[in-house]
Chains A and B, each alone.
Chain A
Amino acid sequence: MHELGITENIVNIALAKAGEAEATKITQINLVLGEMSGFVPDCIQFYFDSLSKDTMAEGAILRFESVPTQLRCRNCSATFSPQDTLWSCPECQGRSVEISKGRELYIESLEVE
Chain B
Amino acid sequence: MKRIEVIQNIMEANQTIAGRNQKLLNRHKIAAINIMSSPGSGKTSLILQTMARLKGRLNIGIIEGDVASTVDAEKVQSEAKAVVQINTRNMPESCSLMAAMIEPALQEMPLNDIDLILIENVGNLICPSEFVLGEHKRVVISSLPEGDDKPTKYPLIFVDAEAVIINKMDLLPYLDFDIAAFRRSISGLNPDAEIFELSCKTGVGIERWCSWLLQQAGSNPTDR
Interface residues, chain A, with chain B CB atoms under 8 Å away: 1-2, 4-6, 8-10, 12-14, 17-18, 21, 23, 27, 31, 36-39, 74, 85-88, 95-99, 103, 105-113
B6:A96 contact, CB within 8 angstroms: no
Interface residues on B, range: 35 or more
11 contacts between A and B (CB under 8 A): A1-B95, A2-B127, A4-B92, A4-B93, A9-B12, A9-B13, A21-B2, A37-B130, A39-B130, A112-B3, A112-B4
Compute how far the CA of A39 lies from the CA of B188 in the bound complex, rounded to whole angstroms.
25
B188:A97 contact, CB within 8 angstroms: yes
Contact for B11 among A4, A95, A105, CB less than 8 A = A105
A17:B11 contact, CB within 8 angstroms: no
A111:B3 contact, CB within 8 angstroms: yes
In the complex with contacts A12-B13, A107-B7, A38-B127 CB distance below 8 A: yes
Q: What residues of chain B lie closer than 8 Å to A12, measured between beta carbons?
A: 13
Compute how far the CA of A74 lies from the CA of B5 in the bound complex, rounded to whole angstroms.
34
Q: What residues of chain A lie closer than 8 Å to B112, measured between beta carbons?
A: none
Give chain A nearest CB distance to B140 CB in angstroms: 15
- CB of B54 within 8 Å of the partner chain: no
